[in-house]
Amino acid sequence: MITLLTYKFISKQHWAVFIALVIDIALGNVWVAYNGGISNSFTSLLLIFIVIAFLLLPTALAVATLCISILGQVSQLELPSLLQAKTVEFPHAMHPEMLQHAQGMLIGFVIAAMIIALSMYYLKRQWLQSEKAFQAMRERQLRDEQLLTIGAAAAQLTHDVATPVQSLRLLNEELQETDVDIALKRDFSEYLRQVELSLTQWREAADDVRSKRQRLYTTGEMSVQLQQLLRVVKPDAQLHWELPEAIRDFAIKADRTLFPAIANLIMNAIEAGIRNGEQETVVTFGDYTSDGQQQLVIQILDKGSGIHVSGEEKLGMSLSKSDTGMGVAAVISHATIERLNGKVSWQSNANGTMTQIRLPIVDND
């Protein structure tokens, strides 16, 4: 078969396979015309080309192949068997009984072709969806393995840092009793407080995850905790918060890992704006209803240079090397919010990059 030879030895491009299929269909119909016309029972073998078309070609070209194959069969009614035409009294004419038989064969061919086409289209679509789901599962598994490694390293780092921090606390107490400059004492105490706060928050978050403990947080509480957290890690950040009063009492169910996850995304936005010479980052709270489920929507707009459109769907799904790091914060934040039945998406626009976080709203009882 020309199609299989073309696909295996010449080219696997769609147009080449399509042309080979058309040639095969034409040759098949010519052979049928010389061997009994449409009444030839071997006409059903031409259905094979429809199967091949829906397996190897895009839907549009496969449908075109289906139409060409049906037209080839229709032509057999107007052009009966060449051998038969030589034996009848009137060339290219069919007896009424033979014509009815040929019409029945044509109708059967068309019905079989349509059933095969629809079946192959459905099976191919299901197969592609399964492949896509399998690929997504593999990417998720790889991401989970990476996060497990990062989490183990973070736990070890926290354990290693705990002892030096205790020593620094004792040194700070002694420093406060000396005649060192007051500003130095204040700065040292503030930096030590930030480190201790981070360690405490990490321990509390880890304890929540281990015990699967969650609680209700209102939108107002979330805003306050996020602002407090960002004042500690980025006190000089210029953040513009927009929280409508109408949604201040909306509640979501989460553990303490949610706030560092959202804070990481806000920090990424702040740094993207700074790299582009812009200082202000806008954080907006809103709500949205999808499929009967009301959701809290947090939009983070930075004024950075944006991200490439092709990378929007992959961002946060796996570690990817860039000029500013490996995207670890985005991956961790994405996984954390996803674990809490939320969703994170990124979209570039004329003003920079919009990071959107969606979390399901629950009854505030």
Among 158, 188, 209, give the residue marking a domain's end.
Answer: 209
Residue ranges making up the domain that contains 244 = 214-360
If asked whether residues 190 and 106 sit together in one domain, one would say no
Contact indicator for 249, 218 with CB cutoff of 8 Å: yes
Among 209, 237, 252, give the residue marking a domain's end.
Answer: 209
Q: How far apart are CA 65 and CA 21, in angstroms?
A: 7
Extract the tokens encoding 128.
């592609």
Closest CA relative to residue 47, chosen from 20, 33, 29? 29
Under 8 Å CB-to-CB from 226, ≥6 apart: which residues? 259, 262, 263, 266, 283
Phi, psi for residue 238 in degrees, rounded to 5 = -100, 100
If asked whether residues 149 and 117 sit together in one domain, one would say no
Q: How far apart are CA 201 and CA 224, in angstroms?
A: 16
pLDDT by residue for the chain (365 residues), tens digit each? 677 777 776 777 888 888 888 888 888 888 877 776 666 667 778 888 888 888 888 889 999 999 998 888 887 776 654 444 444 443 444 556 666 766 777 788 889 989 999 999 999 899 888 888 887 777 777 666 666 666 666 666 666 677 777 777 777 777 777 777 778 778 778 777 777 777 777 777 777 667 777 888 899 999 998 888 888 778 888 888 999 998 988 999 888 888 888 988 888 888 888 887 877 888 999 988 877 788 999 999 887 776 655 555 556 555 666 555 446 777 778 888 888 888 888 887 777 788 899 999 988 76
DSSP letter, residue 45: G
Residue 70 included in any domain: yes
Among 137, 163, 198, give the residue marking a domain's end.
Answer: 137
CATH classification of the domain holding 311: 3.30.565.10
Closest CA relative to residue 298, chosen from 288, 312, 284? 284
Q: How far apart are CA 266 and CA 353, in angstroms?
A: 11
Structure confidence at residue 358 (pLDDT): 92
User: How many residues are recorded in the chain?
Assistant: 365
DSSP letter, residue 325: B
In the three-class reduction of DSSP (H, G, I as helix; E, B as strand; rest coil), residue 235 is classed as coil
Phi, psi for residue 287 in degrees, rounded to 5 = -135, 160
Structure confidence at residue 326 (pLDDT): 46
- The residue whose two tokens read 């939108």 is 219
Residue 72 included in any domain: yes
If asked whether residues 16 and 79 sit together in one domain, one would say yes
If asked whether residues 258 and 352 sit together in one domain, one would say yes
Residue 291 included in any domain: yes
State the alpha helices, DSSP H only, in the chain. 2-5, 14-33, 47-56, 59-78, 82-87, 96-176, 182-211, 219-233, 258-275, 328-339
Under 8 Å CB-to-CB from 150, ≥6 apart: which residues? 328, 332
Q: How far apart are CA 80 and CA 63, in angstroms?
A: 26
What single-letter amino acid sits at 251?
Answer: A
Phi, psi for residue 341 in degrees, rounded to 5 = 65, 25
How far is CA 81 from each of CA 27, 31, 40, 49, rounded to the nearest angstrom? 14, 9, 9, 21
If asked whether residues 248 and 356 sit together in one domain, one would say yes
